[in-house]
A and B are shown apart, each in its own frame.
Chain A
Amino acid sequence: MLIPVAPQWETDVQGLKYANPETVEEACTLLRDHGEDAAILSGGQSLLPMLRQRVGSYDKVIDINGLPDLEYVRETDGEIRIGCLSRHVDVASSSVVEEHCPILADVAAEIGDVQVRNRGTFCGAVAHADPSGDPPVVATLLDATIVARNADEKRTLSGSSFYHGFYETDLSKDELVTEVRFPVLSAGEGAGFEKYEPTEGAYPVATVGAYLSLADDGRIENATLVTGALEAGPTPMDDAAEVLEDREPTDDVLTEAAEQLGEDTMPVDDFEGSAAFKTNISKKLAKDALQTALDRAENER
């Protein structure tokens, strides 16, 4: 049962109201009363640039860094659970992740730069839903379970149907993501992630996540492909995945699926390159991600 508390806006930072609740309950109460015009500050990797550039419609900031017991990466009941105050670097360096779901480390280790990874939170990136963000791609790919709380209740959301375009998710404005859970990949399963960023640490222009599971006879049983940054957020590429199903995982088959992904993706021309360029590079990323997924599946993970 959550105990309502009065909002405590303590400080005025550059015209913003700032609160740093000490419990999840306090945070959720603040969100209940002010969620429409409040932003949650965890790592701040996305929020602070927005505030500095005076974009975004917030006039209040709720800093959740003081909440207790939310910084963990652990395996429980066949799932990897990441607390909402765990930083990218925690995920990248987690032995649990390395053992059970190494794609998460691949993703976390390549987000932004060292400073971003030391401060930015994995769950924050899942919730923020930047269309170029990497964690949303892997949350969609592996159908993560997203744990959200408001002042009244806790609910779980499915990662594969969580995203709805630019910065749009199933979350309500009064909800706080407290945890994201990823499946432990077992023998015969593997996942890979590739991205193209113009320079190290720049926002990616194209990303592809690939998941494969192999049947006992070595054929591909299930496959999932998801792109990021190319369209308005994580985009499942079902036709390309279908190419793989029930096929021998030969190089030609992986190439065929990668080509299909490229044909199906619908990027736009912009200063980062033409749609044709992005299509071509997505094929390469898909091929490499599939190869990693296959290598891991064949090595029992």
Chain B
Amino acid sequence: MSKQQQRGKQETASEDRSTEWVGERVNSYDGSRFVSGHGRYVDDIQRPDMLHAYFVRSQFSHAKVLDVDTSEAEAQPGVELVWTHDDIADQVNEPFGYMLNDEEVLASDRVTYAGQEIAVVVADDRDTAQDAADLVDVEYERLDTVTTVEEALEDDAPLVHPDLDADPENDTDGNVAWTGQVEVGNYEDPLADADVVVEETFDTNKTTPAPMEPHGCIADYNPATGKVELVSSTQMPHLLSVELSEVLTEFEQRDITCKLPDVGGGFGIKLDPYPFEICSVLLSKATQRPVKHVLDRLEEFTAGRGRAPETLEGKIGVTEDGDIVGLDVDLLQNTGAAAAYGVAVAYSSANCGQGPYLIPNQHWRTKVVYTNEMPTTAVRGFGDPQVTFMREQLIEMAAEEIGMDAVELRLQNSPRQEDMPMRSDAGHIWRNADQITCLEKTREMINWDEHRGGSKTRDGKLRGVGMGTIMKRGGNKSASGGDFDEAVVKMNRHGDVTVLTAIASIGQGTETGINQMVADTLGVPIDRVDAVRGDTDATPEGLGVWADRGTIIGGSAAARAAEELADTLKAVAGHMLEVDPDDLRLEGGRAFVADDPETGMELDELANVAMLGNPETLGTEAERPEELRGGISLVGRGKYQSQEVEFVDPETGRGNVAHSYTFGALAIVVDVDPGTGEIDVVDVAICEDVGNVINPTLVEGQVQGAIIQGLGEALYEEYVYDRNGNLMNGSMIDYHLPTAADVPLVTKIEELENPDPTTSHGQKGVGECPLVPTPAALANAVYDATGIRFTELPLAPHYVLPALDEAGLREI
């Protein structure tokens, strides 16, 4: 690998902390279990006497449900229950939803997308449930369908939620679920100072991140306690219990214990409270038996939710000298039949839509629009990939228009590290980030000057280079009401450490980074640290993993908890060694005097002495310092609550939406085949300022994975619906995910390590960032190669070849 590390990092940690593990290529905490086949996902878990649920899903995208006949299904041997909406209506608060109340658990009298849950069958085994579900007879009356925002916004459009539109208490207006705006500077005429205005309309695609493990859960209700244990493949165990308690009338948060199994990928779509989770709880309560439901792959495609497609009508204004003076954007989001996280996707993408630039005048107008398609929700990047696809293309168009190199234009309009901390035009608090070096390094690694302007390869391909940039939120207070996590770090008498955290592991490795930070704080070997994650009975409160917040917020909380424990250990050691605890250092499994390493003791001995707390070793309580009296607790507690993060102002759309921001740039070289329209990604380079790298291997994995995911969405993936709202390609055969053979091994990865002064180890967000600029950089590269501006995703051959044909570039 050609990876280079910028190692001259500033220390943000207290000076006496070990640096043995942070920054090292520690193996993933779960890695050996996963690669040796000892993972334990929801569907691996069996409980005695467990029932299996299977859903009857709507065949139509929009219809009245006239009748649901369950009699034949109920008569099947092995079938325990068949439920329709009437059976649960008095046990749920409906409509429900994460941000807008627009969902039913089971459809009552109307269905609004093909795949929506209408009834649920519970049987002794899954096959029986599935066969019985086929026997449930649903009588429909078809209604007119809307599948595009254009149709949905017409005056006489069929309404997806007529009841919400009619409700004077509800903001829904026609098919518009939510309207927002961002107003910056002279927002009424944001392009007033421009010499040149470039405008274009862009359309992004609806996609699924297709986690290897589908959604699934086991609900296990205990009639004696009235509590339910829910093992669910989720990204947010604690928030899930909060969300579910709001829907389930007979359950408080304390009645719902959420426990994480191993989770085989989340990418955002495992954040919402889903109908299958709600039904499983109620079914377990009704049958007094555990109930499992795991979505199959076809259900994932039709009801597992995905990325919201957006139409972005953008104008950018620049001066002849290359100053970006204004941005004016209309953003329409096709949110599907329910908004889920769509509102947050919309406001945060508009709020962050300026990217890593100084743009003094901006006006964004945002609408979230209902259609009769599968609901969309959070997906890695959370709206940033969509707006970046627009913004970075507008920037390269503007650069061409004024005859300036596109990287130079970016450099000229980027914030300077020396001006930070600073407020961005849209209200973000930017701290210690070096975007200039990110741009320059990326330009150098990709050989920008050599490729730029397009060329023809020896085998007749059209080659070009393009760029995209990153300014990605880490956290999102308006979506979660605050940004905090708690952690507990405890030690046993042998000096083994356990971290208890609400941070979920969804394969990304956040727990490994947290363990490294804790290991350094306590000076213990990494293999003495274990993690307990996401068990609401055991782990302290927190918000889960999304928006790149895990290592920033959860990691800082765990480091604080470890510091509290470290202080206790030092106090004990200081007492035992008769030295000032402040002179002690914890490292390599020992506590010792920093200036006199010979004077010290092993941590396992120290732990044993502290845990037993006997006067024979520690002296009487009267002889001890005050903090060692009344029992010595080897439990450290920590909480990290961002004080910087703000709610987005509802009037102006401005505000510091997240705790921290990660900057960066990515460039792509493509070869376009003029015979087939196929795009070969021949080179990728990325430089990000991720703060101090906790684990280079895991960072590289996230970078590579995010870029590949972005390439998949940019090159191949799309939900294709027919006019009736039926998904035409809802299977792994027909929905084309990239394979290893389709994409390059990304090795030009450079991480700048300018630490965030507010986090425990200077860390910033990483996991979502590299996806954000990928579709934009790809489209810019294809333009450089062909002179054709592709404004719609994906850039699949069946869209590229016709455009090449029209431009006279097609060859055979």
Contacts and interface: CB of A to CB of B under 8 A. Distances in A.
Interface of A: 14-15, 49, 53, 113, 196, 198-203, 255, 258-259, 270-274, 276-277, 280-281, 283-284, 286-288
B191 to A, nearest CB: 37
Nearest to A199: B736
B736 A273 contact: no
A283 B811 CA distance: 9
Contact of A272 (B741, B798, B805): B798
B720 interface: yes
A200 B741 contact: yes
B741 A274 contact: no
Contacts of A49: 733
A49 B734 CA distance: 13
A14 B128 CA distance: 11
A193 B229 CA distance: 57
Contact of A283 (B796, B797, B812): B812
B676 A201 contact: no
A201 B678 CA distance: 15
B810 A199 contact: no
A284 B736 contact: no
B127 interface: yes
A198 B738 contact: no
B802 A276 contact: yes
B736 A281 contact: no
A271 B729 contact: yes
A53 to B, nearest CB: 8
A273 B675 contact: no
30 contacts: A15-B127, A49-B733, A53-B298, A113-B739, A198-B796, A199-B716, A199-B742, A200-B739, A201-B739, A201-B741, A203-B733, A271-B734, A272-B798, A273-B797, A277-B677, A277-B797, A277-B798, A277-B801, A280-B802, A280-B810, A281-B675, A281-B676, A281-B797, A281-B801, A284-B675, A284-B676, A284-B811, A286-B812, A287-B812, A288-B675
Q: Which A-B residue pairs are the 5 nearest by beta carbons?
A: A273-B798, A284-B675, A200-B741, A271-B720, A199-B736
A281 B737 contact: no
A277 B736 CA distance: 18
B728 interface: yes
B728 A198 contact: no
Contacts of A271: 720, 728-729, 734
B798 to A, nearest CB: 3
Contacts of B127: 14-15
A280 B676 CA distance: 8
Contacts of A281: 675-677, 797, 801
A283 to B, nearest CB: 5
Interface string B709-753: 000000010001000000011000110111101100000000000
Interface in B530-568: none
Interface of B: 127, 298, 675-678, 716, 720, 728-729, 733-734, 736-739, 741-742, 796-798, 801-802, 805, 810-812
A214 B677 CA distance: 32
A276 B802 CA distance: 8
Given A196-B676, A198-B736, A277-B798, 8 more contacts: A199-B742, A200-B741, A200-B742, A201-B739, A258-B812, A271-B734, A281-B797, A281-B801
A270 B797 contact: no
A209 to B, nearest CB: 17
Nearest to A271: B720
A144 B677 CA distance: 33
A200 B736 CA distance: 9
A113 B732 CA distance: 14
Nearest to B802: A277
A199 B805 contact: no
B801 A199 contact: no
Contacts of A198: 716, 736, 796-797
A288 to B, nearest CB: 8
A196 B797 contact: yes
A276 B803 CA distance: 12
A274 to B, nearest CB: 7
A268 to B, nearest CB: 12
Contacts of B742: 199-200
A50 to B, nearest CB: 11
Contacts of B716: 198-199
A284 B797 contact: no
A36 B204 CA distance: 48
Nearest to B130: A54
A113 B737 CA distance: 14
A279 to B, nearest CB: 10
Nearest to A200: B741
Contacts of B676: 196, 281, 284
A202 B797 contact: no
B801 A255 contact: no
Report which residue of A49, A272, A286 has the largest number of chain B beta carbons within 10 angstroms of its beta carbon: A272
A132 to B, nearest CB: 10
A24 B805 CA distance: 53
A184 to B, nearest CB: 31
B812 A270 contact: no
Contacts of A288: 675
Nearest to B735: A271
Nearest to B738: A199
Report which residue of A202, A270, A283, A288 has the largest number of chain B beta carbons within 10 angstroms of its beta carbon: A202
A281 to B, nearest CB: 6
A49 B298 CA distance: 13
A283 B796 CA distance: 18
B723 to A, nearest CB: 13
A288 B811 CA distance: 11
A196 B736 CA distance: 13
A288 B812 CA distance: 8
A138 B810 CA distance: 27
A77 to B, nearest CB: 38
A109 to B, nearest CB: 12
Contacts of B738: 199
Contacts of A277: 677, 797-798, 801-802
A288 B798 CA distance: 19
Contacts of A113: 739
Report which residue of B728, B733, B812 has the largest number of chain A beta carbons within 10 angstroms of its beta carbon: B812
Report which residue of B127, B728, B798, B801 has the largest number of chain A beta carbons within 10 angstroms of its beta carbon: B798
B325 to A, nearest CB: 41
A272 B734 CA distance: 8
A200 B676 CA distance: 15
Contacts of B675: 281, 284, 287-288
A202 B733 contact: yes
A270 B728 contact: yes
Contacts of A258: 812
Nearest to B678: A196
Contacts of A255: 812
Contacts of B802: 274, 276-277, 280
Nearest to A54: B130
B678 to A, nearest CB: 8
B211 to A, nearest CB: 18
A271 B733 CA distance: 12
Contacts of A259: 812
Nearest to A196: B676
A68 to B, nearest CB: 34
A183 B751 CA distance: 58
Nearest to B737: A199
Given A199-B716, A280-B805, A274 B812 contact: no
Contacts of A274: 798, 802
Contacts of B739: 113, 199-201
A293 to B, nearest CB: 15
B736 A202 contact: yes
B787 to A, nearest CB: 19
Nearest to A259: B812
Contacts of A199: 716, 736-739, 742
A280 B812 CA distance: 9
B295 to A, nearest CB: 15
A201 B732 CA distance: 11
